[in-house]
Amino acid sequence: MKLTLGFSPCPNDTFIFDALVNGKINTGGLSFEVVLEDVQTLNQWAIEGRLDVSKVSYGALPLMLPHYIALQSGGALGKGVGPLLISAQPAQPGSSILHMDDYTIAIPGENTTAHLLFSLAFPNAKKKIFKIFNEIEDFLLNAPPSSGPTAGVIIHENRFTYQKRGLFKLMDLGSYWENKTGYPIPLGGIVTRRSFDPAIQSKINTLIRQSAEYASGNYPLLPPYVKQHAQEMEEEVMRRHIDLYVNQYSIDLGADGRKAVQQFIEIYRQEKNTQEVKNNIFVTI
């Protein structure tokens, strides 16, 4: 059985999926056609039901549940791993950054965890623009003064590069979530088709878990597959990326991880004032 599988070219994803897609584990008759795309594209495709298995943002999961069910392995959760709100100008001493009404804020995709976390912290911010995550630093650095104050929400490797480019952190949106809820931050997870037989869903989950365990068990070895798709990223940044986003939650969500994702679902229900979201979120394993 051949399945389409979508994930991003970011080091944590290629690290987790390397063993699965490159024949390092026994896939038991399943094969995968890999599609590498940025997370916003994958989110949109999941809303449309295009791929069989896909990495997605947990912040957009409620929109996908008609087509998909979430796996319990392969995702990115944790503490201290959330998006950062940054600007080309440092926060002024004594000023409050809790009033973002006058800012134009660049966000890495509308249907993303980063957008949900920003909206949770700044529900009244209206001047949002949506960009691919790796375009946000350039947007802040090149924005003309006449456009007014700007800020951006950064994810992935930009967490490690923004200071080198002369940008400044205004807020850690992940810490805001952790302080508010006490849960780890559910950044991204893996979904598979709800229409698949439960045995196939469980098998896919098991294979992704085995792939993540294989990668973690051989670390600090950095597979060529990771380097191949990291473009010009320095190896130190690749490793920091993996160290930050690949952890025990990538092997299995566990009770805390499931509760964190369910909290996202509840926030969505409250914001949209709807109960029309499926309750059976996770594959049974």
In this structure, what token pair is assigned to residue 148?
Answer: 């007014």
Cα–Cα distance measured from residue 208 to residue 232, given in angstroms and rounded to the nearest whole number: 27
Cα–Cα distance measured from residue 187 to residue 164, given in angstroms and rounded to the nearest whole number: 24
156 is catalytic: yes
Check 99, 156, 229, 241 and give the catalytic one.
156
Cα–Cα distance measured from residue 41 to residue 51, given in angstroms and rounded to the nearest whole number: 12
Active site residues: 156
